[in-house]
Amino acid sequence: MKKIIVLLLLLLGMNQNGSYLVPFQLRAQTVNPVRNSSGALNPVRDLSLSGTNPAAEQRGIISNGVKEDVLANGLKIIIQQDPFAPLSMFQIWYHAGSVNEEVGKTGLSHLLEHMMFKGTPKYGAKTFSRIIQRVGGIDNAGTNKDYVFYYQKLAPEHLHLSIELEADRMQNLILDPKETLSERDVIMEERRLRYEDDPQNLVYEEVVATAFKNHPYRRPVIGWMSDIKNITRDDLYNYYKKYYVPNNAFIIAVGNIDKDSLITKIKKEFNDIPKGPEIKKINLDEPEQNGEKRVIVKKEAELPYILIAYKAPNVLSDDNASLEVLAEILSGGKSARIYKNLIDEKQLALSAGAEYDSLYKYPFLFYLYAQALPGKTIDEVEKALYEEIEKIKNEPPSEREVQKAKNQIEAEFIMGQDSIYLQAQMLGMFEAIGGWRLKDKYLEEIRKVTSDDVQRIAKKYLIEDKRTVGILIPIKNQDKTTETQRHRGGNEY
């Protein structure tokens, strides 16, 4: 859970125009920031992943201090009171991530997120943020594969501003054609900086696109460059009208707030917004992978890098908790197996670790990664990573090692509840995936994991025929090389 908490904290520093949730490279690890900078679940498994669900049809449900309500138009409200919080957090989430985009239209979700700050007839461009800042608040947004969310952090007495502003831009966004073209250029430059000019992120993008044949998770959240440059104002408008509707959204509010009065205010502003067409759940099966896939990326870089991705289930699976513990055993700090063996003892890697991405609506990936030290080959590093997996397959980790990993996961999860931002974000992410009550089941499942469970899931998921391997081969920048030789008087060219 450390990776989730760190990612969410990083989001607090995003640009005012909003920024997409980078799925891998921003998730800091104790052993390495990949970039030098990024049962018990059965009762809720049948919940719909978008729109309302049967359980939510009950009004005014209160569970574990969380109150939920659903408006007649399908908008769900989830409120958690924290009497000790000096500020409050208001968030609105839409089931409108990159998974919802059509082929040839990748990047729509992220670009629309940016355009949501460009104004309505009532509140002009940048007015939204200025109103929030005027009362000492902050606002921002984020997009990932499954959803987009917008948030404001401000004093409880000013929550009415968030409600009024979000209700307005849910239905009245201008989407000026000139602003659309301008912001599209901004996104294209963002893509160049984050991917085209970032070798490790480029490897990540290629690995994910190669690992999945059919599922839309293969597409990058920011979109492919060829798609971004062809997005039109009409594309954005149609996407906005389809997905930014009450029955495809939910509200999260956390802080020292009066739940009933807040619900009354939300109903006043949102109740008259008409319900949109039913959003059908994505039902695409990913073909079985029957052999290892490999992809090579040649890019200007200092050192070779490897990213190994195994198909893995999401948080709704019975195996989720065991995979979380396995990732922590492999990569939960400097005493964890990968850091200790590849970095400290064998001195093969400058950075290395493991990552399990479980907080998605659909099954995703479990990673191993490493950057080779100068003088070491990527083949040596790859072999050493596999050896760590084989050790667990051949002999289960000790109960002490498993308990240490479980303690670390629990401590990180609990510490995250100290922040109202993280409280709201956790509720939102679990709600987007399958219901906010999943959050309360998470630690219960972690505590049940045994050493035999860890060995079993390593044998089940971390197998050669189910993995995709991406390797970065560094190349020299020819322009820089040529320029240097010119200054030296070289005539080779």
Catalytic residue among 57, 101, 102, 113: 113
* CB neighbourhood size of 276 (10 A): 18
Cα–Cα distance between 107 and 114 in angstroms, integer?
11
Overall residue count recorded for the chain in this entry:
493
End-to-end CA distance of the chain: 53
User: Order of strands, edge to edge, in the sheet holding 249-255?
Assistant: 61-63, 66-70, 76-81, 249-255, 88-94, 148-154, 138-143
Q: The tokens 């629309």 sit on which residue?
A: 112
Strand order in the sheet with 305-312: 293-300, 467-475, 305-312, 364-372, 349-356
Query: In the annotation, is 164 catalytic?
Result: no
Of residues 11, 147, 27, the one with CA closest to residue 412: 27
104 and 111 Cβ atoms separated by less than 8 Å: no
Cα separation of 240 and 403, whole Å?
A: 47
Assigned token pair, 391 = 């050790």
Q: Tell me the C-alpha distance between 56 and 367, whole Å.
A: 35
For residue 332, the SS3 value is coil
Active site amino acids = 113
